[in-house]
Amino acid sequence: MAVETPLKGNIGDSIKRKEDDRFIRGKGNYLDDVVLPGMLHMSINRSPFAHARIRSINTAAAQAVPGVVAVVTGELLAQHKLAWMPTLSGDTQAVLATDKVRFQGQEVACVIANDPYVARDAAALIEVDYDVLTAVVTPQQALQAGAPLIRDEKEGQKDNHIYHWEAGDKAKTDEAFAKADRVVKLDTFYPRCHPSPLETCGIVADVNPATGHATLYMTSQAPHAHRTLFAIVAGLPEQNIRIISPDIGGGFGNKVPIYPGYVVATAASLLIGKPVKWVEDRSENLISTGFARDFHMSGELALRNDGRMLGLRVKMLSDNGAFYSDAQPTKFKAGLFHIVTGSYDLQAAHVETDGAYTNKAPGGVAYRCSFRVTEASYLIERLVESAALEMNMDPTEIRLKNFIQPEQFPYMSATGFEYDSGDYPRAMQVALDKLGYQELRKEQAEKRKKGELMGIGVASFTEVVGAGPGKHYDIAGLRMFDSAELRVHPTGKAILKLGVKSQGQGHETTFAQIVTEELGIPAADIEVQEGDTDNTPYGLGTYASRSTPVGGAATAMVSRKLRDKAKKIAAHLLEASEADIEFDHGKFFVRGSPSKSKTIQDVAFAAYTNLPDGLEAGLEGVTYYDPPNMTFPFGTYLVVVDIDRGTGQVKVRRMVAVDDCGVRINPMVVEGQIHGGLTEGFGIAFMELITFDEEGNCIGSNFTDYLLPTSWETPKFETGETVTPSPHHPIGAKGVGESATVGSPAAYVNAVIDAVGHLGIRNIDMPVTSDKVWAALNEKGAAE
Ligand code: MCN
Ligand code: CUN
């Protein structure tokens, strides 16, 4: 009988997630589990209007409710210079409205009470006298001459335009278009959607009036950066601020920004001298916190008649809501949208982007996307599909013809990225084989003869994830490096402390595995800690799939640092010269005689008990890692759909996803990330939408209107992999957390267009709902 040896947790081992034990048993510690003695509760009164002047606020009735401790208005905050706060992208945002409200759901006043329900009831009693103004609900409308000025409080702001930003070479692109045999154009809209994590956002602010210490329990994806920003905004000494991100029930980018609720709860705790808890409800989360996308995009592809792409021209208009608060590296007004050249060898590209204020919630968080990579990937993959249709080429053929070839890496893109590594044709081939592409094309042809609608969608995306390098990328000026601190105890057990912060990605398991690979300590013996700024080294946090590329690299490097010291100790124990010591999976031995060895555990013990002369005691270290480049994961996704001509219903029959994220630390965790991302991509493609009526009322403010996919709707996924290591990452890994959300929407929509393209339908904007599909068919006389 075969005996199964338990996996030690080396790189490549699919060990079970350590954190799941406590999650499955209900022993996690989420924000709402934090209960402090004497804790008060906060509730927010929000604007019912999208755009209105505030004439007066009457808080008397709220104040009179038994149990209410305080009512906070913008006027009160203004006395402490806290009515406005800076945003991550250099704009300002109202903490509590004083002059005007600028979106429905905006924070107007807060009630602090001894009970959450009392706070809520009292907040509803606050009387605000509004003078309703015309709402601006689209960026096109916002930029029209004479449009109502939304940000009238900003000095020098004469219109609703936020920024203009360009990338690439305009002259060279014009030249490429002049040489082209034909130009294919696509106008498309990536609608507003929402990360909607299971756990909403919240804070427990505990400012000790005696010591001035502020302990802030926050659902934060970036606790260190938030600490620094709090210090700057609130003027608190940074050593007195401790941010603790407890277990987080999903972030997806929603927990990157700083929200007004955090600021008011902290200010209230400071003024009252008691802990204050604020937790959003679902509708508050959907109407007021960081939404995603809302990009109007227009792309043009210059092509030769043989299908070779020559140039790409993109114009984009983004709807940023009332405050420009997107999280992105400060130099990049539209994030990393210029990855829009995708997987293709384009000699020239030019991207022009503009942003506009509207009377909608601010945010523009990059929901499971590295700063707008999703929108870019969607545009290019949809555009290539359009080109294939118009040129009557197979969508795989046109891609194969234009892929950047494996030998071209490192590859400099027309918009200035240096792609680290890739093998696009291989990923596509693996996906095609897995799907049985040729057979399905035959089936499609047969079906089409009978008038049945079947489509095969293709997307071959390339992402850019893992910011820094710090010299190019920063958040609010803070360079995007990351850190790892490793301490090996005398008994050979270890504790690893990180600057990144998991929201469900499994860091406690996968980062331990990096140490296991580098030092040989079993993953089960390594405790991973994140999220407490007093106890972890400074880092920029977890978003933009940067934990593995940056924090993972820091972990490998600190392990190697310790290994070097361990070698000195091993040499002492083995009575050999350090130069003769070799290391292999947790064992140190003299070169040539592997039988005489010392384990990492022996060495760890000696680090505290038996050291060579002149060597410092202990086995610990810290590494701050600034990556030399980003990583560029990629993949090919294939989707098969059947469409009912009577109802417009789209059924996803197959979904094959082949991802390449370089070396996989824990293949099971990677697989989980991909399944999650494909599900979110499916929701965005077919179901989820935050929209607004002409008065700026948010439609999609609860889960009966904002439809999330359940296991009932979600298709089955078939996954595959190729492995092209990142040449600059210490263990060859690239990020993967966002890949499937970035790559899949275009594959789903391309499948629908592939089914109906022969009828002359070129585009249906997401979410591709049955009614839209039916209407498009009906317009072509093809509906039943
Ligand atoms: N991993 C691996 N091998 C690789 C790459 C990654 O084993 N080559 C593992 C990592 O070690 C980690 C996980 O996969 O455990 C994801 O790693 P990475 O790609 O580095 O992404 P991050 O940890 O930085 O997570 C961020 C990413 C983003 S930006 C969003 S948004 C998102 C996502 O992860 N939010 C999530 N996945 C999520 N998954 C859950 N459950 N919850 C969220 O909020
Ligand atoms: Cu871009 S959403 Mo994730 O980066 O937290």
- Does 367 sit in the ligand 2 pocket, CB within 6 Å? yes
Count of domains in the chain? 3
Tell me if 529 sits within 8 A of 496, measured CB to CB: yes
pLDDT in tens, 695-726: 999 999 999 999 999 999 999 999 999 999 99
Which of 593, 625, 657 represents a domain boundary (last residue)? 625
In a domain, 103, yes or no: yes
Q: Which atom of ligand 2 lies at the shortest distance from residue 545's CA?
A: 4
Q: Check whether residue 634 and residue 604 sit in a common domain.
A: no
Cross-strand bridge partners of residue 634:
462, 660
Tell me if 734 sits within 8 A of 667, measured CB to CB: no
In a domain, 753, yes or no: yes
Q: Which ligand does the CA of 219 lie closest to?
A: 1
595: tokens are: 């039988």
- Does 368 sit in the ligand 2 pocket, CB within 6 Å? yes
pLDDT in tens, 751-776: 999 999 999 999 999 999 999 999 99
* Measured distance CA(202)–CA(111) in Å, rounded: 15
* Measured distance CA(620)–CA(238) in Å, rounded: 26
Tell me if 79 sits within 8 A of 85, measured CB to CB: no
State the pLDDT at residue 2: 57
Burial of 491 (0-12, 13-18, 19+ CB in 10 A): exposed
184: tokens are: 């294919």
What is the CA(544)–ligand 2 centre distance, in A?
Answer: 5
- Does 252 sit in the ligand 2 pocket, CB within 6 Å? yes
Contact residues for 85 (Cβ-Cβ < 8 A; gap 6+): 92, 93, 95, 233, 258, 260, 263
Active-site annotation holder among 93, 221, 444, 513: 221
* Measured distance CA(256)–CA(589) in Å, rounded: 47
pLDDT of 481 above 60: yes
Of all protein residues, the one whose alpha carbon is nearest to atom 38 of ligand 1 is 505
What is the CA(507)–ligand 1 centre distance, in A?
Answer: 8
Q: What is the CATH number of the domain that holds 220?
A: 3.90.1170.50
pLDDT of 1 above 80: no
470: tokens are: 């710090």
- Does 221 sit in the ligand 2 pocket, CB within 6 Å? yes
CA-atom Rg of the chain in angstroms: 27
pLDDT of 5 above 80: no
Contact residues for 5 (Cβ-Cβ < 8 A; gap 6+): none
Coarse DSSP helix, strand, coil percentages of the chain, rounded to the nearest 5 percent: 30, 25, 45
In a domain, 583, yes or no: yes
In a domain, 758, yes or no: yes
Tell me if 227 sits within 8 A of 476, measured CB to CB: no
- Does 492 sit in the ligand 2 pocket, CB within 6 Å? no
368 flagged as catalytic? yes
Rounded to a whole number of angstroms, the distance between the first and last alpha carbons of the chain is: 61
Q: In what helix (H) or strand (E) does residue 715 lie, and over which residues does it extend? A: none
Q: Check whether residue 610 and residue 749 sit in a common domain.
A: no
pLDDT in tens, 591-631: 999 999 999 999 999 999 999 999 999 999 999 999 999 99
Of all protein residues, the one whose alpha carbon is nearest to atom 17 of ligand 1 is 737
Ligand 1 binding residues, C-beta < 6 A: 197, 250-253, 368, 503-507, 510, 542-548, 661-666, 669-670, 673, 676, 733-738
- Tokens 């994140």 locate to 530
Which of 88, 337, 370, 475, when mutated, tests ligand 2's pocket best, judged by the most ligand atoms within 8 Å of its CB? Answer: 370
Tell me if 339 sits within 8 A of 415, measured CB to CB: yes
pTM comes to 0.97
122: tokens are: 């009292």
Q: Which ligand does the CA of 556 lie closest to?
A: 1
> Which one, of 44, 198, 29, 25, lies nearest residue 106 by Cα?
44
688: tokens are: 């989820």
What domain range is 724 assigned to? 295-360+373-467+629-779
In a domain, 2, yes or no: no
* Measured distance CA(724)–CA(420) in Å, rounded: 10
Q: Check whether residue 508 and residue 616 sit in a common domain.
A: yes
The DSSP annotation for 562-612 comes to HHHHHHHHHHHHHTS-GGGEEEETTEEEETTEEEEEEEHHHHHHHHHH-PP
The pLDDT > 90 percentage for the chain reads 97
pLDDT of 81 above 80: yes
State the pLDDT at residue 27: 97
Contact residues for 570 (Cβ-Cβ < 8 A; gap 6+): 581, 588, 598, 602, 603
Active-site annotation holder among 280, 620, 671, 738: 738
The DSSP annotation for 29-64 comes to -BGGG---TT-EEEEEEE-SSSSEEEEEEE-HHHHT
Q: Which atom of ligand 1 lies at the shortest distance from residue 502's CA?
A: 23
- Torsion angle in degrees (nearest 10) through CA of 225, 227, 228, 229: 80
How much is the average pLDDT of 658-671?
98
- Does 746 sit in the ligand 2 pocket, CB within 6 Å? no
* Measured distance CA(313)–CA(352) in Å, rounded: 8
Q: Check whether residue 330 and residue 408 sit in a common domain.
A: yes
Q: Check whether residue 121 and residue 61 sit in a common domain.
A: yes
Active-site annotation holder among 110, 193, 201, 369: 369
Torsion sign (Cα): 392, 396, 400, 404: positive
Q: Which ligand does the CA of 678 lie closest to?
A: 1
* Measured distance CA(308)–CA(184) in Å, rounded: 12
Q: Which atom of ligand 2 lies at the shortest distance from residue 738's CA?
A: 3
In a domain, 345, yes or no: yes
Which of 196, 256, 371, when mutated, tests ligand 2's pocket best, judged by the most ligand atoms within 8 Å of its CB? Answer: 256
- Does 731 sit in the ligand 2 pocket, CB within 6 Å? no
* Measured distance CA(219)–CA(503) in Å, rounded: 9
In a domain, 25, yes or no: no
Confidence of residue 4 (pLDDT cuts 50, 70, 90): low
In a domain, 579, yes or no: yes
* Measured distance CA(762)–CA(184) in Å, rounded: 11
Tell me if 651 sits within 8 A of 770, measured CB to CB: no
State the pLDDT at residue 588: 97
Q: Check whether residue 566 and residue 710 sit in a common domain.
A: no
Confidence of residue 733 (pLDDT cuts 50, 70, 90): very high
Alpha-carbon distances, residue 568 vs 521, 603, 614, 684 (angstroms): 18, 9, 11, 55
Q: Check whether residue 398 and residue 273 sit in a common domain.
A: no
Q: Check whether residue 529 and residue 388 sit in a common domain.
A: no
Find out whether the peptide bond into 469 is cis, omega within 30 degrees of 0: yes
Q: Hey, how many other C-beta atoms are within 10 angstroms of the C-beta on 99?
A: 12
Using the CB atoms, write b or e for 127-144: b if 16+ within 10 Å.
Answer: ebebeebebbbbbebbbe
- Tokens 């912060």 locate to 501
Q: What is the CATH number of the domain that holds 761?
A: 3.30.365.10
* Measured distance CA(540)–CA(544) in Å, rounded: 11
Confidence of residue 234 (pLDDT cuts 50, 70, 90): confident
Q: In what helix (H) or strand (E) does residue 182 lie, and over which residues does it extend? A: strand 182-190
Confidence of residue 678 (pLDDT cuts 50, 70, 90): very high
> Which one, of 133, 141, 127, lies nearest residue 103 by Cα?
133
369 flagged as catalytic? yes
Angle at 201 between CA 743 and CA 190, to 5 degrees: 30
How much is the average pLDDT of 76-102?
96
Q: Check whether residue 348 and residue 427 sit in a common domain.
A: yes
Q: Which atom of ligand 2 lies at the shortest distance from residue 503's CA?
A: 5
What is the CA(366)–ligand 2 centre distance, in A?
Answer: 5
Q: Check whether residue 494 and residue 570 sit in a common domain.
A: yes
Which of 263, 288, 313 represents a domain boundary (last residue)? 288
pLDDT in tens, 271-292: 999 999 999 999 999 999 999 9
pLDDT of 3 above 70: no
Q: Check whether residue 689 and residue 748 sit in a common domain.
A: yes
Which of 594, 625, 656 represents a domain boundary (last residue)? 625
Burial of 413 (0-12, 13-18, 19+ CB in 10 A): buried
Give the type of residue at 364.
G
* Measured distance CA(544)–CA(473) in Å, rounded: 12
Q: Check whether residue 634 and residue 615 sit in a common domain.
A: no
pLDDT of 358 above 90: yes
